[in-house]
Chain A
Amino acid sequence: MLCDNCKEREAIINLTQVEHDSKVTLHLCEQCAQQKGVETGGAVMKSPLGNFLGALGKGAALVPAGTDGVRCPACGSSLRDFRDTGRLGCDGCYVAFDAHLRDLLRRLHGSSQHVGERYEAPGEAGAEPDPRSRLLELKAQLRRAVEGEDFELAAELRDRIRVLE
């Protein structure tokens, strides 16, 4: 769809305003949106998730630079694919990109810890998930965070490990 304002460039932003009694939606390109005072957050706005983040007023970059090459071993999609489409490739991506996703989930939802219904897949042990496996997982995350020089995350993981221990 072309931009409603310049009618030249591709529209990437839907700007919805309530004027008088009716809702008006303008389809705008990045440049015209910026002229109208909309914070676009650059390339982030090109993905559906970008629109969501923009709508939340948090146009921060989804994916830190320099990590585009990391690929999910299960489905082969990269963080760049995620940034372009706003969609993950498979359930394995949540493990492969967990540090980035944890950060993103916090920005989106205010938390990354699921507290709703616990699920056990058919055939799994009927007991509560073993806290030891959780601890091992956190330690693995901590190692990855330190390797990736994400010290803020590392400090937080260390705190959580201390609580569990």
Chain B
Amino acid sequence: MDLSLLPDGGMRWLDAAGPKSTIVLSTRIRLARNVRGIPFSQRAKDSDRTAVVERVSEAAASTEHLASAVAFHLDQMDRTERQLLHERHLVSKELAGLERESRPRAGAALLVQDQVGVMVNEEDHLRLHGMWSGFDLEDAYAAVESVDAELGRLVPFAFHPEFGYLTSCPTNAGTGLRASVLIHLPGLVLTKEINKVLQGLSQVGLTFRGLYGEGSEVVGNFFQLSNQTTLGKTEDELIDHLGKIVRQVVEYEEQARDVLLRTAPEEVEDKTWRAYGLLKHARRLSFEETMNLLSGVRLGVGLNLLPGPGVYTLNKLLIYTQPAHLAAMDGRSTGDRELPTVRAAFVRRLLEAEPS
């Protein structure tokens, strides 16, 4: 399967063209849907899953928004390719069969057109998702919603008048909507205000996770904030609420950065230049160290303490320094002990190409 079939590699959001994109990297919308009358994925037989993927592909072909979608059949792809899609936030670890010794199950598929994708046979039969640059809940939701409406006219979704859209896990029932933003909060971490903010989130019905959603670690001061509940509120209410809180968090982050600049300008400047220097000259870099250094550089660029690199380059580095991307570029395996060397060489090359 050739990933170059995807324009922008399926990651137009990297271009940092969206609102507030130095602090909010991306906005993601996900809708969970199931086909009526077919057992949910966990209980489905291989024949059920195949039926789902066939039905959805057929329907997609006659929609406007998915007519020219690229289809990836994960059960027919090798591990590095599947991991590439996961590193691009296009499929979950579970769907790609990347958990320990697991394999993708029959019928596991991804359809992608433009910025919207559909995971087929994940925990729910369909997981529609879209990722937008910067802080842009409205556009991301509108795009995913229109794909949902089109598919829902062709495939009967499981829906209950009281419980709403029915999902495999009751935590997603109702709207099936998970809205999230990937946000960079080094100011709050450095000023030690982050705990208060994170604790506050759970009190207003939101939750936070790491870079790759559920179960993933927080690295490089990147947090994913999203709604916790999906039922009892309208889609617009859920999105407005998240938007309101995120705007507040962005404000707190900006205030924290002001405090840093006022109280410790030299230290902050030194920190960001050191991060930049290490990225530009190190000979071996772990993924985690790279994330932390990128966080420092991103802060420096946001505060105009560093002349470059551009936010687009920083976003690209986040994705392309991950194991499968390095392995694919360099013809190695993802477990290769030389990956830190390969990673450092790649980072140097990309930064040297940047005007600074």
Give, as a whole number of angstroms, the nearest-CB distance from B107 to chain A: 16
Determine if A35 is an interface residue (Cβ-Cβ < 8 Å). no
Determine if B171 is an interface residue (Cβ-Cβ < 8 Å). yes
Interchain CA distance A52-B173 in the complex, whole Å = 14
Which stretch (B1-9, B108-116, B227-235, B256-264) binds chain A?
B227-235
Which residues of A are found within 8 Å of B195, using beta-carbon distances?
A: 18
Interchain CA distance A23-B157 in the complex, whole Å = 39
Which residues of A are found within 8 Å of B175, using beta-carbon distances?
A: 114, 116-117
Determine if A49 is an interface residue (Cβ-Cβ < 8 Å). yes
Determine if B42 is an interface residue (Cβ-Cβ < 8 Å). yes
B33 and chain A: residue at smallest CB distance: A119
- Tell me whether B152 and A119 are in contact (CB under 8 A): yes
Interchain CA distance A116-B215 in the complex, whole Å = 28
Which residues of B are found within 8 Å of A119, using beta-carbon distances?
A: 152, 157, 159, 165
- Tell me whether A104 and B165 are in contact (CB under 8 A): no
Which residues of B are found within 8 Å of A85, using beta-carbon distances?
A: 42
Interchain CA distance A165-B198 in the complex, whole Å = 45
A88-B169, A102-B162, A114-B232 are known; give 11 further A-B pairs, CB within 8 A: A55-B207, A75-B39, A75-B43, A91-B34, A94-B163, A101-B163, A112-B231, A114-B173, A116-B175, A116-B235, A121-B156
Determine if B307 is an interface residue (Cβ-Cβ < 8 Å). no
Which stretch (B186-194, B266-274, B310-318) binds chain A?
B186-194
A117 and chain B: residue at smallest CB distance: B235
Give, as a whole number of angstroms, the nearest-CB distance from A67 to chain B: 16
Determine if B240 is an interface residue (Cβ-Cβ < 8 Å). no
Known: A21-B189, A115-B234, A116-B233. A121 touches B42 (CB 8 A): no
Determine if A37 is an interface residue (Cβ-Cβ < 8 Å). no
> Chain A, 14-26, contact with B by CB distance < 8 Å: what is the 0/1 string?
1000100101010
B175 and chain A: residue at smallest CB distance: A116
- Tell me whether A94 and B232 are in contact (CB under 8 A): no
B232 and chain A: residue at smallest CB distance: A111
Of the candidates A18, A87, A105, A112, which one forms a contact with B194 in the assembled complex, judged by CB atoms under 8 Å apart? A18
Determine if B160 is an interface residue (Cβ-Cβ < 8 Å). yes
Of the candidates A94, A110, A137, the one having the most CB atoms from chain B within 10 angstroms of its own CB is A94
Which residues of B are found within 8 Å of A18, using beta-carbon distances?
A: 194-195, 198
> Chain B, 126-168, contact with A by CB distance < 8 Å: what is the 0/1 string?
0000000000000000000000000011111111111111101
B residues contacting A by CB (< 8 A) are 34, 36-40, 42-43, 123, 152-166, 168-171, 173-175, 177, 189-190, 192, 194-195, 198, 207, 215, 217-218, 229-235
Chain A interface extent, by class: 35 or more
> Chain A, 44-60, contact with B by CB distance < 8 Å: what is the 0/1 string?
00001100100100000
Of the candidates A77, A95, A117, A134, the one having the most CB atoms from chain B within 10 angstroms of its own CB is A117
Determine if A109 is an interface residue (Cβ-Cβ < 8 Å). yes
Which residues of A are found within 8 Å of B152, using beta-carbon distances?
A: 119, 121-122
Interchain CA distance A88-B166 in the complex, whole Å = 10
- Tell me whether B162 and A90 are in contact (CB under 8 A): no
- Tell me whether A87 and B168 are in contact (CB under 8 A): yes
A95 and chain B: residue at smallest CB distance: B160
Interchain CA distance A111-B231 in the complex, whole Å = 7
6 contacts between A and B (CB under 8 A): A23-B218, A102-B162, A113-B231, A113-B232, A115-B234, A122-B154
Known: A21-B189, A121-B36, A122-B154. A88 touches B170 (CB 8 A): yes
Interchain CA distance A94-B36 in the complex, whole Å = 12
Known: A21-B192, A49-B169, A88-B170. A110 touches B156 (CB 8 A): no
Known: A21-B192, A49-B169, A115-B233. A87 touches B123 (CB 8 A): yes
B161 and chain A: residue at smallest CB distance: A129
B186 and chain A: residue at smallest CB distance: A21
Give, as a whole number of angstroms, the nearest-CB distance from B167 to chain A: 8
List residues of A (60-95) whose CB comes within 8 Å of B's CBs.
74-75, 77, 85-91, 94-95
Determine if A146 is an interface residue (Cβ-Cβ < 8 Å). no
Which residues of A are found within 8 Å of B166, using beta-carbon distances?
A: 88, 91, 94
Of the candidates A52, A86, A91, A109, which one forms a contact with B230 in the assembled complex, judged by CB atoms under 8 Å apart? A109
Give, as a whole number of angstroms, the nearest-CB distance from A79 to chain B: 12
Give, as a whole number of angstroms, the nearest-CB distance from B191 to chain A: 10
- Tell me whether A112 and B34 are in contact (CB under 8 A): no
- Tell me whether A122 and B153 are in contact (CB under 8 A): yes
Interchain CA distance A75-B39 in the complex, whole Å = 7
